[in-house]
A and B are shown apart, each in its own frame.
Chain A
Amino acid sequence: MKLPILCPSCDHTLNVSQMKCPDCATEVNGNYELPVLLKLSREEQDFILNFFLSSGSIKEMAKQAELSYPTMRNKMDDLIEKVKQHKK
């Protein structure tokens, strides 16, 4: 199931209010901020995962996605900027 990260009403980033242990059903309630990476869209998360799986090689990622190196590098830099914005 897809994790919702934006409020459907005002588009603000959602917080976590409840977590549940799937084993003993213990529930924890609170107001927790999502980790930075979870604030990104699904595609962006997949992009970072692919980067990790290709040993941090943009060139390798570009090859797999049949894109040029500068295109992939630009995507990466745009994503870095977005992560920096979320970290602020």
Chain B
Amino acid sequence: MMNWKTIFNPFGRFDERILLCVGILFFIVLIPLCFWTGTYFSSIFRLAHPQNIDVKNIILHNVISFVSAILVLYGLGLLFYRKTRIIDIANTVLLSQIPLITILPLEKVFYIKKVGERVVAYQNHPTGAFPFFDFIVMIFIILITLGALIYSFILLYNGFRTAANIKKWQQITIFCLVSFLTILICQTFNN
């Protein structure tokens, strides 16, 4: 039975092969989604919006982003706990990006783009009535995106915690720092 604990930490309950299948499935779905929206993952948690990009480059950039995160976190996991398995780390990285993959189609919703433009236009030239409805829609979209991002971080943290059996606050701090640095370095070189 699904409960809050399972939703926020599926790694604690489900078999690693099932999780890996789900993760790979979403990664495969991500390729056409990126092509459709004209985006790619320059690192985990970071979407890039290039002018032009082909499928081959989308796959390459996405693979680099995911694989680099898996390798770095696997190395860190081994440092903390020698029984850390790469499959658990791969599941952590793959599944943590699912919320972001799920909201990726929002990029293509024309109405959302227009809403944002209208609110920004009013902010620059406040003439006429305040676009209250557009503002509400924009806030709603921001909340959805923020929620997905927070959920992604929770999945990454819980997955790594389960895979590397970390408990001490020092380990948690190092994990946060290493993850943040990996994301920064990856998006710098994977552009």
* Partner-B contacts on A (CB < 8 A): 66-71, 73-74, 77-78
Contact = CB atoms under 8 A, between A and B. Distances in A.
Given A68-B162, A70-B16, A77-B83, 13 more contacts: A66-B13, A67-B13, A68-B13, A68-B14, A68-B16, A70-B11, A70-B88, A70-B162, A70-B165, A71-B12, A73-B83, A74-B165, A78-B165
B54 interface: no
B162 A71 contact: yes
Interface residues of B, number: 12
A82 to B, nearest CB: 13
A77 B15 CA distance: 19
Max chain A C-beta neighbours (<10 A), residue from B14, B85, B165: B165
Nearest to A67: B13
Interface of B: 11-16, 83, 85, 88, 162-163, 165
Identify whether the interface residues of A are mostly helix, strand, loop, or mixed: helix
Given A73-B83, A77-B83, A68 B11 contact: yes
A70 B87 CA distance: 11
Nearest to A72: B12
Contacts of A78: 165
29 contacts: A66-B13, A67-B12, A67-B13, A68-B11, A68-B12, A68-B13, A68-B14, A68-B16, A68-B162, A69-B15, A69-B16, A70-B11, A70-B16, A70-B85, A70-B88, A70-B162, A70-B163, A70-B165, A71-B11, A71-B12, A71-B13, A71-B162, A73-B83, A73-B165, A74-B162, A74-B165, A77-B83, A77-B165, A78-B165
Contacts of A66: 13
Contacts of A69: 15-16
A74 B83 CA distance: 9
Nearest to A73: B83
B184 to A, nearest CB: 28
A68 to B, nearest CB: 6
A82 B35 CA distance: 52
Nearest to B162: A70
Contacts of A67: 12-13
